[in-house]
Homo-oligomer: A and B are copies of this chain.
Amino acid sequence: MRSIELEQYLHEHIPLSKAMALAVVSVDEEAVVLRAPLAPNINHSETVFGGSATALATLAAWSLPFVRLRAAAVANRLVIQRNTVEYLRPIPGEFTARSRLETPESWHRFATALTRKGLARITVLALLEHGGETAGRFSGEFVAFRV
């Protein structure tokens, strides 16, 4: 799935991503990188609203198993079960969320369980960044069901 395809998918199916002016920077097997500007995501302190930061990280994290399962042509429904976010510093401008699997080897276990049992869980991390610095850390547990 190319960046533009993922961006169109997110804007079409998750209207909040469009309200956030989310852009897909890059997509590959290792990472999905999303970007959003400050203006639609600003808060009362003129920095990024925590809810926007979490939403961008959630979408970066969700998109990684989503694009990999799509590439593998495994029909599924993929939903978030739990997440934790640490906000390390205020974000006074454009920001990105860069996802990766918690452990690269977890993919094989996840894909096998999904195929054999119809249900599998995986943990995906996302780093929030601004101006080359880490601004926050997201960890999310996702569950996929065969459909």
Contact = CB atoms under 8 A, between A and B. Distances in A.
Interface residues of A, number: 35
B85 A82 contact: yes
Interface stretch (A23-31, A52-60, A102-110, A112-120): A52-60
Interface in A84-105: 84-87, 90
Given A81-B87, A82-B87, A87-B82, A54 B45 contact: no
Contacts of A43: 13-14
Given A87-B80, A87-B81, A54 B58 contact: yes
A77 interface: yes
Number of copies: 2
Given A55-B54, A55-B55, A90 B79 contact: yes
Interface centre among A45, A81, A82 (most CB of B within 10 A): A82
B16 A49 contact: yes
B16 A20 contact: yes
